[in-house]
């Protein structure tokens, strides 16, 4: 076993041995969640009373590594949830040991250039998280490595557990990040920090992720999903059409120049005045009552 793999295994064992809430996902995903049963490598549940969906990676023996099948199921589920009227916010999570440890090297290791080139779109599947219009929260309790880290970077908000670890270690296996890691990490943490992480492949702690801007909160491991659900519930309780516009504006700031972003923000701000929820929100404020959002377009 290589030194890098040995360090990862030691860390995995440490997380497993010191796990304070091994079943926190199972207990939190209890009723009133309604589970879909058409997926095999992910679990999808909807909590109707608060309009929140949870997508959980379900390859625990493989440290939730991305097979081509899991990537396809994830994208299929997310696109379906993006159209569900009773879903206003989505949480992506794994388990206490691993959010996701990236690509399944048993699959990827069999690829050569001729095989990989036509299958490159499978790697692009992770990037399709960026096309989801509803707010997406990453609940990261354990390891987020490679494609797992790239998935976290694609989430709108990341809640990290105290034992969470983030890394883009592809350079240690003779390749580079392929699902947006070099681009999104640089935008999140700056060039110097991104270069350090990508050129060494080293892990950073949850506290480092918080300081670097990858995560918005660090909480105890057994509070990760609970915290994400509380935040998702708060977001989902507001107007869904307006939340989508706010997300679009922030995403544009992330991907464009300041002038372009300001131009789009102005257009989106003006466009809110055609929505019933804009009038309801302002009327409720004037009347000192709670808004009754219609979520109508």
Residue 6 pLDDT: 45
Q: Which one of 170, 178, 215, 236 is the catalytic residue?
A: 170
Q: Which one of 147, 148, 161, 281 is the catalytic residue?
A: 147
pLDDT, greater one: 289 or 23? 289
Name 62's Cβ contacts closer than 8 Å, sequence gap at least 6.
101, 104
Displacement of CA 268 from its chain's centroid (Å): 25
Q: What is the mean pLDDT of residues 30-37?
A: 51
pLDDT tens track for 150-184: 999 999 999 999 999 999 999 999 999 988 999 99
Tell me the sheet residues that pair with 277.
Answer: none
Distances 109 to 67, 116, 175 between C-alpha atoms, Å: 12, 10, 11
Residue 122 pLDDT: 56
- Ranges for all domains in the chain classified under CATH 3.90.226.10: 36-237
- In this structure, the strands spanning 89-93 and 136-140 are parallel
Q: Which one of 102, 150, 161, 249 is the catalytic residue?
A: 150
CATH topology of domain 36-237: 2-enoyl-CoA Hydratase; Chain A, domain 1 (3.90.226)
Residue 7 pLDDT: 41
Give the least confident one: 31-45, 50-64, 97-111, 213-227.
31-45
Give me 216's structure tokens: 């918005």
Rounded to whole angstroms, the Cα distance separating 32 from 57 reads 20
Establish whether 170 is a catalytic residue: yes
Residue 19 confidence class, pLDDT cut points 50, 70, 90 = very low
pTM comes to 0.86
Average pLDDT, the chain: 87
Q: Which helix (H) or strand (E) holds 9?
A: helix 3-17
Establish whether 246 is a catalytic residue: no
Residue 32 pLDDT: 44
DSSP state of 284: H
pLDDT tens track for 67-116: 989 999 999 999 999 999 999 999 999 999 999 999 887 776 666 666 66
- Ranges for all domains in the chain classified under CATH 1.10.12: 240-287
Residue 117 pLDDT: 58
- Does residue 255 register a pLDDT over 90? no
CATH 2.40.33 corresponds to the domain 240-287: no
Establish whether 150 is a catalytic residue: yes
Rounded to whole angstroms, the Cα distance separating 224 from 96 reads 9
Q: Which one of 53, 71, 77, 103 is the catalytic residue?
A: 103
Establish whether 147 is a catalytic residue: yes
Give the least confident one: 1-15, 178-192, 282-296.
1-15
Extract long-range pairs of 270-276: CB within 8 Å, 24+ residues apart: 271/245, 272/242, 272/245, 275/239, 275/241, 275/242
């Amino acid at each position: 076993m290589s030194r890098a793999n040995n360090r990862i295994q030691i860390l995995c064992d440490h997380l497993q041995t010191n796990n304070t809430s091994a079943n926190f996902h199972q207990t939190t995903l209890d009723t009133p969640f309604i589970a879909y049963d058409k997926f095999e490598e992910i679990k999808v549940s909807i909590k109707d009373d608060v309009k929140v969906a949870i997508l959980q990676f379900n390859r625990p023996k493989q440290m939730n590594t991305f097979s081509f099948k899991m990537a396809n199921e994830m994208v299929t589920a997310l696109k379906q949830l993006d159209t569900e009227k009773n879903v206003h916010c989505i949480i992506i999570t794994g388990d206490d040991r691993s959010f996701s440890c990236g690509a399944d090297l048993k699959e990827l290791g069999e690829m050569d250039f001729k095989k990989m080139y036509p299958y490159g779109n499978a790697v692009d599947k992770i990037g399709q998280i960026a096309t989801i219009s509803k707010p997406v929260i990453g609940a990261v309790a354990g390891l987020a490595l490679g494609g797992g880290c790239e998935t976290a970077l694609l989430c709108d908000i990341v809640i990290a557990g105290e034992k969470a670890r983030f890394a883009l270690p592809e350079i240690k296996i003779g390749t580079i990040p392929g699902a947006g890691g070099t681009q999104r990490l640089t935008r999140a943490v700056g060039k110097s920090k991104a270069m350090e992480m990508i050129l060494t492949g080293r892990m950073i702690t949850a506290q480092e992720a918080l300081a670097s801007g990858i995560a918005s909160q660090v909480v105890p491991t057994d509070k990760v999903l609970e915290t994400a659900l509380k935040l998702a519930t708060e977001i989902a309780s507001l107007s869904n059409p307006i939340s989508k516009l706010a997300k679009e504006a922030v995403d544009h700031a992330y991907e464009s120049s300041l002038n372009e972003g300001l131009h789009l923000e102005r257009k989106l701000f003006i466009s809110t005045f055609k929505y019933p929820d804009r009038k309801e929100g302002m009327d409720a404020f004037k009347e000192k009552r709670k808004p009754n959002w219609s979520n109508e377009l």
